[in-house]
Structure 1
């Protein structure tokens, strides 16, 4: 792919990302990621519908999200888990399992195909857009499915981001660990977690971030599991029909997920300088916001709204499952 072909769409995505970052300074409750995808949808369905933008927005959507996922590995260590103890780990594992099972079950009941169900499950259980970007290639999800789910997950995450801080305060009072568990164990993206916890206090931000990082560290496991499930599905189709559609290559672990794991392992063993972690976090955040702007530009709003009722029910249902399960698990495991 030539640079001149991708430049128009890439530049458009970058401009929207910059505007979103600036706007987030005035509307911190929304955050740059949410603003970027909403602004992208608005412009992509009105004034920025030119076909020549397509290659650049596709590049930004796919490649930049991949690099964003990889760089996240340099921002965390396995030692982080120790800060919330064994019950904190049990809470996260149970919460993620319930979210995945609930999203797969509800999606099936609502008639969504397997790729949408898996993307929805992984995106909500792990880390939003980054998880969806990691899972999509191993299950051979198409671009429309990926864009639709990313949009839905971000919109739902915005609603939860604005409501969970007040729910946590009303239920858990001054207990920052429990409020951190609710926010960090439920919200989809790191930005949403930080923004929501910031509405409470800085200590809640620290604990919420720890719980969130524990979920992100499970990304590789979720990708491997979904890759295996997809392969089994293909094998079953082959056995029944002797035909397998798609172009899968049997690889369960994309290069950028492997990179994420390697960087995390290195940082855990040798403790990389703070400047490296800070730089990786900054670049990763920018890449994600540019990619989300591109996803918004590529989203066909008409098609999205056609499935509006089912998508709304799906998003509301999964969000309800997450919040209710988190409250029950916090009460059973963490509340003293």
Structure 2
């Protein structure tokens, strides 16, 4: 009887969910829908009608985020970005090193398999889903280990998008302070940009530059990982879109682009809202059930550590 009900629901669901999903996705393109609302809308659909395009939205999210980040480069100044990158450099090195070491220790303590533990630690330390996607083939992680790690990162990202702006105002952080903090403590670039854009334009510039310079640490971390896991022949995915982002930023700084800059940045922010909607739509009940409490606890503890330590360091330095 239960199997019959499940089959009936599966057959009936697309008729309702597909037009609803497309309508909701189109709504996120409207200026009145902010990135947090877009994310919340995606999560709501994932928990109710489901994601009828799950096979497609994962790839769409990946490419759409990269294009949105490139578009944001047309709204940035190279001189300001260089200053922001210098300010976040030492914090980046310290936070990545400490988070990876703590993650290794906690994973052993909680008896989590080393591949899952390292993926969660890398995602927390560097840049969320992008780091996991780059490190996974290096450690030869299987599909379950990847889905658990990505599920935890995206779940905590969703919480950060709503929580961080509130905490930023509570601690009376300046635009620069919040930009640094969100870039270091929030896992994924999409949520970093979403939270920082809600806080202010200066925070957005600082956060985007620091986060993207942080993402370049995927390369040395992947090389070290290949030695630790003895997978020297594994390929390392280099985040090529960061180079195009830098070119866009240089063009905006040294060339007269007129309305092109405004059009590109506006389109990028709209693309970001759609990206967050798709991320939320991928957090289905099946994904959440597959996580398990030990990996989730590891993710929360690492996130709490990097958030608290980065905040204290920023308040002390500024």
TM-score by length of 2: 0.71
Aligned to 2:303: 319
| Alignment partner, residue 60 of structure 1 | 57
Matched, 1:182 2:181: yes
**1:296 alignment partner, SS class:** coil
Q: How far off is 1:320 after superposition?
A: 1.4
Question: CA separation in 2, counterparts of 1:97 and 1:75?
Answer: 28
Aligned-pair CA distance for 1:152: 1.7
- Does residue 231 in structure 1 map to residue 237 in structure 2? no
Equivalent residue in structure 2 for 1:330, among 307, 314, 318:
314
Q: What's the offset of the Cα at 1:60?
A: 3.0
Distance 1:142 1:169 in 2: 41
Partner of 1:267: 248
Q: CA RMSD in A?
A: 4.0
Q: How far 1:252 sits from its partner (Å)?
A: 0.9
C-alpha change, 1:303 and 1:291, in structure 2 (3 Å) is closer
Which of 206, 213, 220 is matched with 1:217 structurally? 213
Equivalent position to 1:40, from 46, 62, 76: 46
Q: Shift of the alpha carbon at 1:325?
A: 0.9
Q: How many Å apart are 1:210 and its aligned residue?
A: 1.3
Alignment of 1:149 onto 2:144: no
* Number of the residue aligned with 1:252: 236
Cα drift, residue 282 of structure 1: 4.0
Of 17, 21, 26, the match for 1:16: 21
Distance 1:161 1:287 in 2: 13
Task: Measure, in 2, the Cα distance between the counterparts of 1:137 and 1:69.
Answer: 21
The CA distance in 2 between the partners of 1:38 and 1:133, in whole Å, is: 26
CA distance in 2, matches of 1:184, 1:220: 13
SS at the partner of 1:103? helix
Alignment of 1:97-108 (within 5 A): 97-108=97-108
1:21 and 1:147, CA in 2 relative to 1: closer, same or farther beyond 3 A? farther
Residue by residue, what CA displacement relative to the aligned partner does 1:97-138 show, whole Å, maximum 9, x if unpaired?
333333343233322233323332333233333443444344
What residue ranges of structure 1 are gaps of 5+ in the alignment?
1-7, 237-247
The structural deviation recorded for 1:67 is 1.7
Q: Give me the whole-angstrom Cα distance separating, in 2, the residues matched to 1:187 and 1:146.
A: 19
Matched residue of 2:236: which SS? coil
Do the aligned residues in 1 keep the contact of 2:103 with 2:121 (CA within 8 Å)? Answer: yes
Q: CA 1:60–1:164 in 2, change beyond 3 Å: closer, same or farther?
A: closer
Q: State TM-score, norm by structure 1.
A: 0.68
Question: Bigger CA drift: 185-194 or 322-331?
Answer: 185-194
Offset of residue 321 of structure 1 = 0.4
